[in-house]
Structure 1
Amino acid sequence: MVYSNLEDFVTEIHRKIGILTPNEIDMQMIADSLNIKPHFWDESSQATESAGEHWIFINEILSLMEQWQDFGHELCHVLQYAGNQHNLPLKFRLYQEV
């Protein structure tokens, strides 16, 4: 079977943090394993880095499915994009959101 680069990337992360079966997938466990601090709040979801610590802020009003989607999206920013996204040109930031 042929997998996309993203599927290979996710599979490798799962392997590194010890996820072997779908029922082991847990947002808090993934965050802890990757040294990311999740936080739920009433604003839009986003990821940030400060003093070498990574934070993912998830909108607490969203459904659990939407929270998972946002967590995965923001996790991608933490793991694949370096630096402060606000220092990048607007068009490039928008391109990353697609």
Structure 2
Amino acid sequence: MVYSNLEDFVTEIHRKIGILTPNEIDMQMIADSLNIKPHFWDESSQATESASEHWIFINEILSLVEQWQDFGHELCHVLQYAGNQHNLPLKFRLYQEV
């Protein structure tokens, strides 16, 4: 079976943090293992970095499924996109959000 680059990336992260089966997948455990601080709030979900600390803010009003989707999306920003995304051209920032 051939996997996409993203699937390979996720599989490698799971392996590195010791996730071997789907029932071991836990948002807090993933965040702790990657030294990311999750926070739930009533604003839109986003990721940020401050003083070399990474934060993922998840909208607490969303369903659990939507929170997982936002967590995965924001985690990708933390792990794959370095620097201040606001310095990038608008079209490239929008492309990353797809």
Which TM-score bucket, shorter chain as reference?
A: over 0.9
Q: Look up the SS of the partner of 1:74 in the other structure.
A: helix
CA positional deviation for 1:87: 1.4
Q: Can you give the 5+ residue segments of structure 2 that lack an aligned partner in the other structure?
A: none
Distance 1:64 1:11 in 2: 22
Q: What do residues 22-45 of structure 1 show as CA deviations (whole Å, max 9, x unaligned)?
A: 000000000000000000000000
CA positional deviation for 1:13: 0.1
Q: What do residues 31-87 of structure 1 show as CA deviations (whole Å, max 9, x unaligned)?
A: 000000000000000000011000000000000000000000000000000001111
Q: Cα RMSD over matched residues?
A: 0.4
Distance 2:38 2:86 in 1: 20
CA positional deviation for 1:6: 0.5
Over the matched positions of the two proteins, sequence identity in percent amounts to: 98
Distance 2:95 2:2 in 1: 26
Distance 2:37 2:84 in 1: 17
Counterpart mapping for 1:73-92 below 5 A: 73-92=73-92
1:66 is aligned to 2:66: yes
Using the size of structure 2 for normalisation, the TM-score is 0.99
Q: Where does residue 36 of structure 2 map in the other structure?
A: 36
User: How many residue pairs are counted as aligned between the two chains?
Assistant: 98
Q: Look up the SS of the partner of 1:2 in the other structure.
A: coil
CA positional deviation for 1:19: 0.1
Q: Can you give the 5+ residue segments of structure 1 that lack an aligned partner in the other structure?
A: none
